[in-house]
Structure 1
């Protein structure tokens, strides 16, 4: 257990994993930022940081804020992980350098660019089918529908059962929080999905030519073991699904909530990539990740002891008014460079390039077929211990 902090350290009596906070995190984020650079949270027995400068600095400083003891509340030095730890997200150098280098070689920007014409064609077909002005739920239709139409083929997954990727990613991200009712419900719902993923990551079940088989070929070349290859393929399935689904959902939500920004993009398509980065900053797809201190560290006069869990509020940092002007506004002209929507430093999300390029293909299709993205009902959130996940997004695509 983490030692209680000095009495002078700010503390807040809030549980960041309570349903109330997960449903509407923004008041809690403001309270955390205002309380101080480091805050003690007695409800979960750990430290927290929510201001942009401190969160970004901690994410960069893996030497002190390590990931090898888990990036969730569970401390791998004291508890057994629910599944074998990720060789990317839950390791530090030198192991991390070796595995990340291998994966960066497979998941290269050049490889993705070759796929863009095919992804653009699929996005055009999907958007045009809904561009009739009629209300529909954009989550299953578009935000989930598009990634599930392109990502499994990228990895080389078998055709049957691909819908298991959504519940598996849901339980994986829930597992970074406490062992609460959300995690229990997600694990029960994903029992079959977890088994499907485990089988799908095996070499004999992967199609030739995909990123999954390329990882095994790297193992043949001695760059990793074959057991490591299976775990690395599994990392693709966590990094490349829910983050992309929620990234597309947040982009659509931003355009529906701020219709003037979509019209601004229609008038100046050079803003497309800025719009994507702004949606990643504004939407807070990834709310939090934990780190564990390798030594005592002082942050503006507040000492965090060695071996302490620190909860980094990425989404709160991305709306910190100390760093961003009018952070609650979705502004596609904003320079959102440096946001921590996908983390920062050596542990940035492996799937970030996939997410960005899928979002780019989707946005291009919207601009080609849709004159207006109109909200037609209230948005609903699917509570998750780590993600800000939109569960229902009723909108209409007014045809161009």
Structure 2
């Protein structure tokens, strides 16, 4: 970037001289989020030559206005349209209407409320079995023993792909570090995932999926010509696995952490386990599963009076938006009766709102509700530790003590 362009940007968007991909920022992003919100409606991060938005209204605008901010450049920091950074796009997430809408409409048939209701009974049965085992143990890790164990039990049946824990955790870490810069986290994740790449590719093909599952239904839809182009069934299957397992594990982990840190709020779901879903939504507001998602400016555009350069990445920081005091009263407090579903950006907003959100909500409500029925108190038994990942916000360890009811 030339000095002249740099000076022009300085006169338009405030410069935020901070690295959002620094390991310590990824572990504890709150100071960065506040600086981003208070810098202005949009800021320039010169280290990566990208814009960043952290206020709720501007984040919502960038996510919804696909005519000014395209997803076709990729939702990561690289512009996948460029030769040096080219990769096969996610044909739904990294697409704009009307092409995106045509593909999404096919998936919606197999992820409808009716389809999810059929899954709920199995989710609740398995949650009850696991919760009984957890109460017997007393002290557990909320990540490994609850979030990962539960989601990797029920989600593979729902989507129709076998997901051995070491395999899918390594693949997820690779995918969500690839969305950031090629830093040390990226290099380590790529190396760790190498033994599992062939497995993942095979698992998302027709021969790798289970009969009578969502993934199998997508391949049948492709056979009937319901998708606008060939090869979309495997592309969408990779998307469901990549977005559905890791993000829900992260959300369940955050929910458990917030409930342990806020015993008064846990008392509410212990008294009424049907409120477990409210706790999940409020945890996603405070700790969304993803730090950031990118769009790319179409031509010279303006956002809240700030002129932006064409073909430039804009990072949307969900955690910053969800703690914006311009939108939420007492934004740093965990209040499940806030009923923030449909308002927080933890599932996104607009055309690209998370297509698997109903599965995630059903899974989370099942396991949190099962614990609420059996556990009087959830207490921290040690310090929560966050895993630094370029795109994802996820706990690495969450020592918990479960006090039986």
TM-score range, shorter chain: over 0.9
Of the structure 1 ranges 375-384 and 302-311, higher mean CA displacement relative to structure 2 is found in: 302-311
Within the candidate set 352, 358, 366, 2:363 is matched to 358
Return 5+ residue gaps in structure 2 as ranges.
none
**Aligned mates of 1:232, 1:59 — CA distance in 2:** 21
- State the TM-score, normalizing by the size of structure 2: 0.94
| 8 A contact 1:133–1:399 mirrored in 2 | no
Identify the residue that residue 116 of structure 1 maps to in structure 2.
Answer: 120
Q: CA deviation at 1:353?
A: 1.5
**Aligned mates of 2:86, 2:380 — CA distance in 1:** 39
Within the candidate set 319, 326, 333, 2:323 is matched to 319
**Aligned mates of 2:273, 2:129 — CA distance in 1:** 20
Within the candidate set 362, 370, 374, 1:369 is matched to 374
Runs of 4+ in 1 over 6 A off after TM superposition: none
Within the candidate set 152, 169, 175, 2:172 is matched to 169
1:186 is aligned to 2:186: no
Within the candidate set 342, 345, 354, 2:350 is matched to 345
1:202 is aligned to 2:217: no
| 8 A contact 1:136–1:396 mirrored in 2 | yes
**Aligned mates of 2:66, 2:379 — CA distance in 1:** 43
Paired residues, number: 399
| 8 A contact 2:273–2:373 mirrored in 1 | no
Q: CA deviation at 1:302?
A: 1.1
> Where do 1:227-238 residues align within 5 Å?
227-238=231-242
Q: CA deviation at 1:367?
A: 1.6
Q: Give 3-state SS (helix, strand or coil) of 2:369's partner.
A: helix
Q: Give 3-state SS (helix, strand or coil) of 1:241's partner.
A: helix
| 8 A contact 2:270–2:373 mirrored in 1 | no
Q: Give 3-state SS (helix, strand or coil) of 1:47's partner.
A: strand
- State the TM-score, normalizing by the size of structure 1: 0.96
1:101 is aligned to 2:80: no
Q: CA separation of 1:201/1:226 partners in 2, compared to 1, >3 Å: closer, same or farther?
A: farther
> Where do 1:261-340 residues align within 5 Å?
261-336=265-340, 337-340=342-345
Identify the residue that residue 44 of structure 2 maps to in structure 1.
Answer: 40
* Greater helix content: 2
Q: CA deviation at 1:393?
A: 0.2
Q: CA deviation at 1:256?
A: 0.5
**Aligned mates of 2:245, 2:209 — CA distance in 1:** 17
Of the structure 1 ranges 190-199 and 175-184, higher mean CA displacement relative to structure 2 is found in: 190-199
Q: Give 3-state SS (helix, strand or coil) of 1:356's partner.
A: helix
**Aligned mates of 2:208, 2:378 — CA distance in 1:** 40
Q: CA deviation at 1:199?
A: 0.4
| 8 A contact 2:269–2:369 mirrored in 1 | no
User: What's the Cα RMSD here?
Assistant: 1.7
Within the candidate set 383, 390, 398, 1:385 is matched to 390
| 8 A contact 2:9–2:44 mirrored in 1 | no
| 8 A contact 1:133–1:398 mirrored in 2 | no
Post-superposition Cα deviations, 1:109-134, rounded to whole Å, max 9, x if no partner, equal 21111111111010011111011363
Identify the residue that residue 127 of structure 1 maps to in structure 2.
Answer: 131
Of the structure 1 ranges 93-102 and 267-276, higher mean CA displacement relative to structure 2 is found in: 267-276
Q: CA deviation at 1:295?
A: 2.6
Q: CA deviation at 1:163?
A: 4.0
Identify the residue that residue 249 of structure 1 maps to in structure 2.
Answer: 253
Post-superposition Cα deviations, 1:210-231, rounded to whole Å, max 9, x if no partner, equal 1111000001110124422111
Q: CA deviation at 1:158?
A: 4.0
Return 5+ residue gaps in structure 1 as ranges.
none
**Aligned mates of 2:273, 2:386 — CA distance in 1:** 30
**Aligned mates of 1:139, 1:91 — CA distance in 2:** 33
Q: CA separation of 1:218/1:249 partners in 2, compared to 1, >3 Å: closer, same or farther?
A: same
| 8 A contact 2:79–2:86 mirrored in 1 | no
> Where do 1:71-90 residues align within 5 Å?
71-81=75-85, 83-90=87-94
Identify the residue that residue 399 of structure 1 maps to in structure 2.
Answer: 404
